[in-house]
Amino acid sequence: MLAKPVLEPDSAPAAGALAPSRTPWGVSALLLATGDALAARFGAVAVRGELSGLVRAASGHCYFSLKDAGGAGGVLRCAMFRRAASLMDFQPADGQQVDVRGRLGVYEARGELQLVVESMQRVGAGSLYEEFLRLRARLQGLGLFDSARKRPLPAFPRAVGVVTSLGAAALRDVLTTLQRRAPHLQVVLYPSPVQGAEAPAALVAALQEAGRRAEVDTLLLVRGGGALEDLWAFNDDRVVRAVAACPLPVVCGVGHETDITLCDLAADLRAPTPTAAAELAAPLRDEALALLQARQAALQRSVQRVLQQQAQRVDTLALRLGQPGRALSGQAERLKALQQRLLQALAQRRLRHAQEPGLRAQRMAQALQQQLARASLRLDAAGHRLQGLDPARVLQRGYAWVEGEAGRPVVSVLALQPGQAVRAVWADGRASALITAVEPLLPSE
């Protein structure tokens, strides 16, 4: 903070100080003299503080205030003209902590102390801005800003709710815009302070009441512009959670286009200004009427086209009814053709029935012949197999078999004993023999 110089009553005025005079000062003259004294006493000064209420005019000039980051009450008005503003290497914003250099003076139009800034450098984020970044990171981690949870606004709402202060300029802007765009739309106000220590709790209560009453289709949360601390209620954790939990679609239009609050991120839709929030929530009546008129014209054309088609069909039917003789003649010719087809079909059917017994007898004879041929082939095959199994045929190839006294064949050498009488049978005769020795084959042989 800048110290105020103290002049002793009986001492001579210091260099640059105002000399005492009994002649009354004019206001402008006093302000001019005070500005000269400040310029002479302080010259160029360097000040560190936190940006607040930053406004960039269309002319390129910047107007803002500086305050101590610790929250002290001192506020210094500042102006930075276009030439100096164009030399900055960063984008200043509320809450940033900066070092500025400039000249102290008095703004005569309002009689306020003012610092004309010639250069600005960023030092770091201010305390409020740092708190804003911490809150944003924490709430984003909870998923309150996810795009997947944001809901679309109804295209044609029946009623719109507004949460703001009764005396706010934002309320007048919203009501004016809604009256201009959709005068038929019902507006329900949920009043709440939008600045100060009591604002967060009141905003939460208003949002909860709107959700509980469920009498509107869209809810507007609006406030005019201001410094970061003026908009701080819309960065409060409780208000942000209430916006995210509101069962109604919420449009947040807080501050100017460059102002961003946490409620903007949690709302279903962010509007740059309160007026823009009203425009997004309410469709333009003239556009809706034009759309209805276009659809009405299209419907009329469609109905007219159907009517014309049906009229043409009626005309065609009338022409056909106007000449019954031609219709009857056509029907008679059709009956004759059907009768001829029926007679031909009956004749063909009688012919098929007359030929059917002979065809069946022929098919039966052919089937019997085929069955006899197949049976003969099976019999021949069985005879060949039987001849192949006949033992006499085997003996004719030079083989013989041995049988015992009872006439049973001897199939193993183990059934023979030395001195046993056997009989050998060939194809052309038999012979008796006496076994003199038996020699079984060993397994290895």
- Express each pLDDT in 349-364 by its tens digit: 888 888 888 888 888 8
SS3 151: coil
SS3 107: strand
Residue in the structure block whose two tokens are 């929030």: 277
Q: How many CB atoms lie within 10 A of CB 88?
A: 16
Q: What is the pTM of this model?
A: 0.48
Q: For 58-105, what is each residue's pLDDT tens digit?
A: 999 999 999 887 656 688 999 999 999 988 878 888 888 889 999 888
Instruction: Determine the Cα–Cα distance for residues 93 and 228; give it in Å rounded to an integer.
Output: 9
Going along 89-171, which residue ranges are E strands?
96-107, 112-125, 159-164
Q: Where are the alpha helices (DSSP H) in 282-323?
A: 285-322
pLDDT, mean over the chain: 84
Q: How many CB atoms lie within 10 A of CB 250?
A: 28
- Among 110-114, 231-235, 422-426, top mean pLDDT goes to 231-235
| Confidence (pLDDT) at 189 | 95
As given in the structure block, the two tokens for residue 309 are 């088609």
- Is the model's pLDDT at 389 over the cut of 80? no
Cα separation of the two ends of the chain: 129
| Confidence (pLDDT) at 19 | 53
- Is the model's pLDDT at 20 over the cut of 60? no
C-alpha Rg value of the chain to the nearest Å: 58
| Confidence (pLDDT) at 242 | 95
- Is the model's pLDDT at 256 over the cut of 90? no
Instruction: Determine the Cα–Cα distance for residues 102 and 80; give it in Å rounded to an integer.
Output: 9
Mind listing the domains of the chain with CATH numbers? 27-125 (2.40.50.140), 157-286 (3.40.50.2300)
Residue in the structure block whose two tokens are 């164009």: 86
Instruction: Determine the Cα–Cα distance for residues 432 and 411; give it in Å rounded to an integer.
Output: 17
- Is the model's pLDDT at 286 over the cut of 60? yes
- Is the model's pLDDT at 9 over the cut of 60? no
CA dihedral angle for residue 254, residue 257, residue 260, residue 262, rounded to 10 degrees: 40
SS3 147: helix
